Structure 1
């Protein structure tokens, strides 16, 4: 559907639905070619449209309503997703860049755009962690867990402990099938992390087994004890994931910050640091370790294992958790 006439119709004349309009404008911009590029931009544009129509968004379904403040609000939302560990910085920056590109295609101008996605996010792509993650000291973490429970943030306490003991992402801790994991821990001495995982792995249900030590079993017990009635995970039957993040997780973040834990993603990094030390008997680089003193095969083997346990497909990603090889 090529644009006919003026751009003053709904979605600048490209159709009634914002997601469809964006895809059509991109196809026209690239003159029917560059299929992979058009698809990538279209997928990210659809993610933006879903946010627009969600409880967190402005409720728009007409691109003419989008202004600069809308884009800044979306950047704030993506920043929260980064802090929660749901997406990485690169994904957020790519989504903002695609929104810029699609809006320009729809509007026919550059009047509504974020000049610098990284600046708007307040984040910069950093493939190597420089700061030692919070939550590595268990005694301190357990005090934080107790404080969360005292202030009726029971489910967030369970999330924090699961993230630290299993290396799960936030979404994975919330959607984990707790009875299944408890059964696996009891029968096999290990658990297979499957629920809420990213589809970017080689199959959304690729095996991801980790040993169920006493810490993992304790985390599962806490999660089971605070799981809502008739639920297999940490969500109530009538509760959506988005609402849970807004109404349950977000109010507890201030307590975590006050107690010196920057975010739940740091607890995942703390897990990775501990696993590196267990696998190599050396302190990870981000904690002051000198990886060039470690046999290269041992270092790479540890990074490969940690990558698997965290649900990644590339070992270079592990540097964002434990630091680079010096």
Structure 2
């Protein structure tokens, strides 16, 4: 959306409300695309706006009033939230990063920003999972599926089951070539995740083979049933990925939250924890498993295998899914 007023007007020309202005500036910055990124930044910006309007905040409703002192006060507030256990360090850093991005979009420069969110908060974020992921319990997943199907979110139900059964990312589940995966499952007994992968990791150079067990086959059947007529994946013909996220996936997230699932990524972590136990015979570290103490080589081999299955090329990333070794 174009500026609604002059660039030097209230909220730098993006309207009278600070919350609205931030969202519109982000949409302009990303030229109407990258819907999930805009949504994430916008949600964190709203948290900043709520703080601004609170008793602890600056009381501003115009981005032109926000200066470095405002941001320092917000950093102090976030630091206090962390110390009280109300906020984790990663969430706080993400909020500061999104405030930086949104202010830059509004202002058209980077004159007012938090130079280093991690340094400002005084702590380094940890990429080691310390809490067990949602979706480990298959009965919980089945309850979510039932509600999604009852409310005619068949395609979202398929995404949930694919993510839990194969460790697919959201984009990978949506864009999966279902006829090819069915053929591989039937004739090879395994499937190769190649569509919608991150960072160009596809093809023979980056195979991601997953054993086609009963759970995987059930996920593929549900996805095929949910796939629109004439489509090879979960998108209808002529339907864009962004529109599908906006009109179908986003509204369904409330159902996930109501049933104890923070998001689709948690299902990838649940898959990883289950695979670790299958490969080592020990519970994942985040579940209190100490297998790495008994057989460090087996632990490393399992992490390497899970890394391949999740589409990563670094074993250390797996600690974000299953926990660390301490």
TM-score (norm 1): 0.68
CA distance in 2, matches of 1:307, 1:216: 18
1:54 aligned onto 2:3: no
1:73 aligned onto 2:42: yes
Residue aligning to 2:61:
none
| Structure-2 change in CA distance of 1:255 and 1:116 (3 Å) | farther
Q: Secondary structure at the match of 2:128?
A: coil
Residue aligning to 1:169:
169
How many angstroms does 1:294 deviate by? 2.7
CA distance in 2, matches of 1:180, 1:127: 34
How many angstroms does 1:140 deviate by? 2.0
Residue aligning to 1:140:
140
How many angstroms does 1:142 deviate by? 1.1
How many angstroms does 1:50 deviate by? 5.8
Aligned length: 256
Contact 1:100 1:114 in 2 (8 A): no
Residue aligning to 1:181:
181
| Structure-2 change in CA distance of 1:322 and 1:177 (3 Å) | same
CA distance in 1, matches of 2:205, 2:95: 27
Contact 2:45 2:102 in 1 (8 A): no
Residue aligning to 2:305:
305
Map 1:1-326 to 2 at 5 A: 51-54=30-33, 73=42, 99=101, 107=109, 110-111=111-112, 113=113, 125-199=125-199, 201=201, 206-326=206-326
| Structure-2 change in CA distance of 1:203 and 1:50 (3 Å) | farther
Between 1:134-143 and 1:157-166, the stretch displaced more is: 134-143
Contact 1:163 1:169 in 2 (8 A): yes
Contact 1:71 1:114 in 2 (8 A): no
How many angstroms does 1:146 deviate by? 1.1
Unaligned runs of 5+ in 1: 1-9, 12-46, 60-69, 78-87
CA distance in 1, matches of 2:282, 2:103: 46
How many angstroms does 1:210 deviate by? 1.0
Contact 1:194 1:205 in 2 (8 A): no
Contact 2:100 2:114 in 1 (8 A): no
Q: Secondary structure at the match of 1:210?
A: strand
| Structure-2 change in CA distance of 1:127 and 1:160 (3 Å) | same
| Structure-2 change in CA distance of 1:192 and 1:56 (3 Å) | closer
| Structure-2 change in CA distance of 1:273 and 1:294 (3 Å) | same
Residue aligning to 2:15:
none
Contact 2:283 2:289 in 1 (8 A): yes
CA distance in 1, matches of 2:210, 2:145: 23
CA distance in 1, matches of 2:269, 2:104: 35
Unaligned runs of 5+ in 2: 1-5, 8-25, 47-89
CA distance in 2, matches of 1:48, 1:201: 28
How many angstroms does 1:153 deviate by? 0.9
Q: Tell me the C-alpha RMSD between the 2 structures.
A: 3.8
Deviations 1:220-264 (A, max 9, x none): 000000100111000011211111111101111111111111111
How many angstroms does 1:133 deviate by? 0.6
Contact 2:27 2:33 in 1 (8 A): no
Deviations 1:191-228 (A, max 9, x none): 01000001164879621111111100000000000100
